[in-house]
Structure 1
């Protein structure tokens, strides 16, 4: 097998490590590509290509994450990860854990960790690397890695919500939600939303967003019921789609361009949080991106003409 073939076999794993480290599809793809360049330039053949490339992509991601910290502190409004439609790394025996680790909520919790804690947690808890392997990747002793893992688990467990365990039940609730949303059914929406539900958006200062958020079942239900009919009138389409391993949707304008994505956090049979990503910089990997300001303006004009 050639180096290129070996690399392509490992690409899904490398991307999945980098994405969980960085919360960015674009940065993860760049980290994977840089890993290939370093592997291609390596004069000696590694004893384990998987170990070598996992170490390279993790170290690159740590460096990127350290430089990204300053940018995220200066970010306008809430920061969410770039939406991921499909995780290329598949392990049927651990599919539930892998899906949970890529959820918006989990990635936001990972943001609380130091770059080293994040690397240790991702490699050990998500991809089941041994502590010996983790220690080699991050250039720390096994004892230090065990300490880092313990600290990371403590941070993650303290903030981790208990998501709906039954995926079939969760997906059925999401289907009912999107059906009610399409129909503008305020009562049907209200029934599925937690009393203290939150609707929060990431526009990054480059797209309209819901102010600081919309809170409470009544407010969120009425906002949605008023929104979709007018969005549909201008040719908008809502496409239910799994996003970051969670029930979600992609919104397209009349030309088929991406307007935003949604993800739903579901707990105890109700929707607790709805996160929308509108920042055009985070949507380009999904296809051509719409001008959200234009979509909003057209929607408002439709509202005035039908009032």
Structure 2
């Protein structure tokens, strides 16, 4: 097998490691590409391509994360990970760990860890690397890595909900939610929301968003009741699908361009949080991005003049 073939075989794993450390698709893809450049330039062929490439992508990701932390401190509004529609790496023996670690909630918990803690947690707890491999990847002793792993697990466990909905329950509730959403069923929506539900958005200051979020079942249901009819009226499409391994949706304009993505956090049979991503810089990997400001203006006109959708659509 050539080096290029080895690398392509391991690319899904390398991307999945990097994405979990960084929380961004674009930076993970760039880091994986840099990993290939270094692998191709290495004179001696390593004994284990997997060990070598995993170590390189981990160290590069740690470096990128350290510089990204500075930028995130100046970020406008809440910072969310870039939405991931499909995780390219699959391992049946670790499917639960892989699915859980890519969720929006888990990635936000990972943000609380130091770059080293995050890398150790990802390699050890998510991908099941042995401590010798982890130590080699992060450039620390095995003893230090064990301590980092203990601290990381403690921080992650402290932030997790005590009881999580199983996958089937989440999917059934999400289906009911988006059905009610599409039908403009305000009561149906409200019945699916936790009393303290919230909508929170990451726009990076580059797209419309609710100022500090919307809180409470009544307020959220009313906001959705205003949003849906006008968005559908101007040709918008809500495409339910898994986002970061959770029930969610991709919102598209009538030309198929991406307006935003949603993910639903579900617990105790109710939707707890609706997280929306509308920052165009974080949506480009999903597809061509719509002009969200233009969509908002058109939707507002639709609410004011609901009797003339065809004229607006072709103007």
Gaps of 5+ in 1: none
Shift of 1:162: 4.3
Report the secondary structure of 1:44's partner residue: coil
Counterpart in the other structure of 1:107 = 107
- Cα separation, 2, equivalents of 1:252 and 1:207: 15
Shift of 1:254: 1.3
- Cα separation, 1, equivalents of 2:250 and 2:164: 22
Q: Are positions 1:130 and 2:130 aligned together?
A: yes
- Asked if 1 retains the 8 angstrom alpha-carbon contact of 2:94 and 2:127, the reply is no
The TM-score normalised by the length of structure 1 is 0.98
Aligned-pair Cα RMSD in Å: 1.0
Within 5 A, what are the aligned runs for 1:212-231?
A: 212-231=212-231
Shift of 1:272: 0.4
Counterpart in the other structure of 1:172 = 172
Gaps of 5+ in 2: 308-315
- Asked if 1 retains the 8 angstrom alpha-carbon contact of 2:192 and 2:270, the reply is yes
Counterpart in the other structure of 2:40 = 40
The structure-2 alpha-carbon separation of the partners of 1:163 and 1:199, relative to structure 1 and needing over 3 Å to count, comes to farther
Counterpart in the other structure of 1:28 = 28
Report the secondary structure of 1:250's partner residue: strand
- Asked if 2 retains the 8 angstrom alpha-carbon contact of 1:199 and 1:220, the reply is yes
Counterpart in the other structure of 1:16 = 16
- Cα separation, 2, equivalents of 1:207 and 1:139: 40
The structure-2 alpha-carbon separation of the partners of 1:240 and 1:162, relative to structure 1 and needing over 3 Å to count, comes to farther
- Cα separation, 2, equivalents of 1:117 and 1:55: 15
- Asked if 1 retains the 8 angstrom alpha-carbon contact of 2:97 and 2:125, the reply is no
Report the secondary structure of 1:86's partner residue: coil
- Cα separation, 2, equivalents of 1:58 and 1:97: 18
Deviations 1:35-67 (A, max 9, x none): 000000000010110000000000000000000
Counterpart in the other structure of 1:96 = 96
Counterpart in the other structure of 1:191 = 191
- Cα separation, 2, equivalents of 1:306 and 1:206: 28
How many residue pairs get matched?
307
- Cα separation, 2, equivalents of 1:210 and 1:19: 28
Deviations 1:249-285 (A, max 9, x none): 0000111100000000001111000000000000000
Q: Are positions 1:157 and 2:154 aligned together?
A: no
Report the secondary structure of 1:264's partner residue: strand
- Cα separation, 1, equivalents of 2:291 and 2:158: 38
- Cα separation, 1, equivalents of 2:164 and 2:178: 18
Counterpart in the other structure of 1:284 = 284
- Cα separation, 2, equivalents of 1:237 and 1:218: 24
The TM-score normalised by the length of structure 2 is 0.96
- Cα separation, 1, equivalents of 2:93 and 2:207: 40
Shift of 1:203: 0.3
Counterpart in the other structure of 1:62 = 62
- Asked if 2 retains the 8 angstrom alpha-carbon contact of 1:162 and 1:267, the reply is no
Deviations 1:63-113 (A, max 9, x none): 000000110000000000000000000012221221110001100111111
- Cα separation, 2, equivalents of 1:276 and 1:6: 37
- Asked if 2 retains the 8 angstrom alpha-carbon contact of 1:120 and 1:149, the reply is yes
